[in-house]
Structure 1
């Protein structure tokens, strides 16, 4: 057996007519909207636990809120490898459509639960179904966009990821304040189902026939799991995705609570400042992805360019520690928004680097699934660990913020020293 790297030229695997540029970008926007809806649905819990009507109904302590926040991520992580496997072999359209419908219905059903156990079960179902969204989205991007456009494409997907909590937090809080937490869950789930109409009508059926499935199975087998496990890039990508995601999921799960209960903002104002933070990272993600794409199109090295943006984002995000240490509310709010916004420099470029630039096409779904396992693990850890740190520190956020800082340093260091082209997973061929 011989091996070739991810940078080698890959042969096209589909004989179907390529999509037009207009249709490709339109479907990309639809994918971003789907990711946004998934993040609205998962972030509804962070708004609920900041509301006294919800926490008193279920008698939640800080640790209880942490475990409820993290329940979603345990099933979300476990099912990512399966979903990556499925989209590599069976296409994107129908597996995604089925999972989308399941998580929307489970979100709506959350509003009907009367026990904590029932609510946890719904969160586990939502997590399992939403684990399809990212592998499906990035598999589609890998099939339909070149390296010169992958930064913007991933930036748009990532923007959907961040606009979810940006929009979801203030809207969810408004629904809770004006109606109830039950109505909030039901509305979030039912409204999301509308997305399925354009998805089913507009997206080409890519479920392969018997011969195509055999070809895709052969192609996927060209990067065996042993090659993935032997690649430092694969392991390094899981580390950086964990470090990046720990901060973003902390903000998604705990920022409304932090701003409301420690900084003294009203519940509605905490939702508004959560919006500013996530809108900032989403906007910068698109701009940074576009800027890196332009540099690469002009001849800059793709790996070095995306690594530079990624590390700069981690450095800027580390200013979160300044917000935690200041007594001034205005400065705390500024550093809160600034640090998460700076992480947008990392968002699209890190994803493009570890899911497209350094990964061979046949393994994108599987590697994305592995990375999403690390991402979801970060969400579970951020929820549970933060709850525990708050419990032992009398609800002081200094320790949780210091933990974020440590992971940001680890992410920047791993990006610099481990994400190297020569350590990418290899494609095996018959000698």
Structure 2
């Protein structure tokens, strides 16, 4: 189904902007974006492994509530800058903003190993969050410009390999570096190692910063869908709820899973890293397969909205098995459901993002809409660690935090079914006639 049949009026803005069939170089750059996301998530989640280390907790004198606040600090600045970063990439391209921000977050990640106070630790997390705010709006802006609808699920699935393998690799790598050296060296090494990525990025990606003569037209297209129009769309509000519910679970896993596996299930730091890897590798692989499968169904004539919604709802339902892991007394079953529930959510991953950020959204507004949606994602990153830490503190165990996850997963499935409707998507005005 053509995009013009999905969102009424969409084709009236940018006739030339219909994405062409992706070239091999586009797939190579997509892989590079996925690696960039992987590096971002390694730098983002390495703090979680450190928070499970007694010497780190003792050094900063952290309580469970303090650990929740430290885990969430990244998302304070990350949330604040999502919409501005979406606005920037819609107008100034992907390469230059991404390059500047990448250098900044790698430097701040490395500097985290040098701080000696809790205030310094939080400041470094704020800087990393601010700089990484560019990653998602820029990546989806680039995907929207270079992949057509029948490829978007696969493209997003491949990109999400970086998002999910980042935490999968980050936990065991951080644990190994902490054991081999200490937590300080872990931050310095992971922060500086990522800078190697800049070389292929600078060589492979064309500069898409608009020329001065083209800036007026670029700004006109980027402003075709106003912020007010976006916020007036019931579909956009539906995507905010769905993104919050999806990410509440994933951010709980990124921030509290290491501590849960060590403290509640008695795993060593090495085994914790291994099972964290299995969980995030599972969601990454399922996300890729589900995105590819949805693309094949759409290519055979399936309605893009119906197909992707079916995958998203199925993913939320399977993720609800997290409650089984919370209630079992068996270590083996707890570890099984820990992996299975997060892996099952992979059915929703690529298809939710393709649906909410590509299929239903007018092309000129992808960066801005993604920025708006990322505020909900960031809010989940703020709320999940703090609320889970407080629930852990008042209940003395992880069962209550997991019950709250179950509630949000149910809300996410219902919202996908009821609110993600094409007729409620943001509309773009008819293009003004040429003078």
Q: What TM-score do you get using the length of structure 2 for normalisation?
A: 0.96
Is 1:403 paired with 2:400? no
1:242 to 227, 241, 244: 244
Residue 423 of structure 1: aligned partner: 424
The whole-number CA distance in structure 1 between the counterparts of 2:223 and 2:257 is 43
The whole-number CA distance in structure 2 between the counterparts of 1:66 and 1:383 is 5
> Unmatched 5+ residue regions in structure 2?
none
Is 1:256 paired with 2:258? yes
Cα pair 2:22 2:146 within 8 Å, conserved? no
Residue 41 of structure 2: aligned partner: 39
Deviations 1:38-75 (Å, cap 9, x if unpaired)?
A: 00000011000001110111110000000000000110
1:377 to 370, 376, 379: 379
Deviations 1:246-297 (Å, cap 9, x if unpaired)?
A: 0000000010100000010111101110000000000000000000000000
Cα pair 2:314 2:348 within 8 Å, conserved? yes
Runs of 4+ in 1 over 6 A off after TM superposition: 17-20
Structural RMSD (CA): 1.6
The 5 Å alignment of 1:319-330 reads 319-330=321-332
Question: Deviation of residue 214 (structure 1)?
Answer: 1.0
1:107 to 106, 109, 112: 109
Cα pair 1:74 1:376 within 8 Å, conserved? yes
Change in Cα spacing, 1:46 to 1:265, as seen in structure 2 (3 Å) is same
Deviations 1:380-399 (Å, cap 9, x if unpaired)?
A: 101111111111112x0011
Question: Deviation of residue 11 (structure 1)?
Answer: 2.9
The whole-number CA distance in structure 2 between the counterparts of 1:338 and 1:351 is 21
The whole-number CA distance in structure 1 between the counterparts of 2:16 and 2:387 is 44
The whole-number CA distance in structure 2 between the counterparts of 1:170 and 1:332 is 19
The whole-number CA distance in structure 1 between the counterparts of 2:352 and 2:261 is 29
The 5 Å alignment of 1:92-241 reads 92-241=94-243
The whole-number CA distance in structure 1 between the counterparts of 2:24 and 2:241 is 36
The whole-number CA distance in structure 1 between the counterparts of 2:50 and 2:21 is 42
What is the DSSP-based 3-state SS (H/G/I as helix, E as strand, rest coil) of the residue aligned with 2:429? strand
Question: Deviation of residue 429 (structure 1)?
Answer: 2.2
The whole-number CA distance in structure 1 between the counterparts of 2:17 and 2:328 is 56
Q: What TM-score do you get using the length of structure 1 for normalisation?
A: 0.97
The whole-number CA distance in structure 2 between the counterparts of 1:100 and 1:247 is 26
Of 224-233 and 281-290, more deviation after overlay is shown by: 224-233
The whole-number CA distance in structure 1 between the counterparts of 2:91 and 2:249 is 33
Question: Deviation of residue 213 (structure 1)?
Answer: 1.6
Question: Deviation of residue 210 (structure 1)?
Answer: 1.9
> Unmatched 5+ residue regions in structure 1?
none
Aligned residues: 427
